[in-house]
Amino acid sequence: MKKFVRIVGIIVLICCLFGSVGCGNKYNAELFNNAEQWIRDDFLRENRVKAYYPNENYDENDEQSERYIYDETAPLTRTFIISDNVTFDEIFKGDNIAVDFANEILLLYIHSEIYPGRNYSLKKIAVEGGKISVSVEIEKKNGVGDAAMPAQSCLLVKMDRIEIDSAEFIEQ
């Protein structure tokens, strides 16, 4: 009986070892939530998405004045491929993230967010031709009541350098 248990244990160990081969992060991708805190204010202003923004002309003494306005002329999302220091310096303030552009690139996704307290996780990355598709999923919380008016938010992916012409983010 001991011999049988030992053999079964060895088989299970071998299955676990071979089962994990090939799993992993093919592009060494890392997702950063709330990346807007690292981005220059002027860049965010120039790259608005459909969301609510503080009204620059708000007058608290005027009942008709709106504190926030909805930008309905902006696109739903914006995506940027950042592959050099010049572009990085145009977008980011400071050196909050270290990037070796000889070996790495950044993908910036600007979108409208209604759950500001929830994080996204990276689900899948697929490359076909010169296009990369990044699938992300928002953290699920049932019955929390944390929805808010849509606001501009940014996700940032740091990954191994690959040659791509376009990028898309898919929210699952």
Per-residue pLDDT of 52-95, as tens digits, reads 999 999 999 999 999 999 999 999 999 999 999 999 999 999 88
* Helix, strand or coil, per DSSP, at residue 99: coil
* pLDDT value of position 25: 85
- For residue 44, count other CB atoms closer than 10 A to its CB: 16
DSSP state of 39: B
Which pTM was predicted?
0.83
* pLDDT value of position 108: 99
Asked if residue 19 belongs to a domain, the reply is: no
Which carries the bigger pLDDT value, residue 134 or residue 14?
Answer: 134
* pLDDT value of position 143: 76
Asked if residue 17 belongs to a domain, the reply is: no
Asked if residue 51 belongs to a domain, the reply is: yes
Total number of domains in the chain:
1
Asked if residue 13 belongs to a domain, the reply is: no
Domain that holds residue 77: 25-55+64-171
Name 68's bridge partners. Answer: 54
What is the torsional sign of CA 134, 31, 119, 22? Answer: positive
On the CB side of 4, CA atoms within 13 Å amount to: 1
Mean pLDDT of 122-132: 97
- Beta strands 104-113; 68-70: pairing state: unpaired
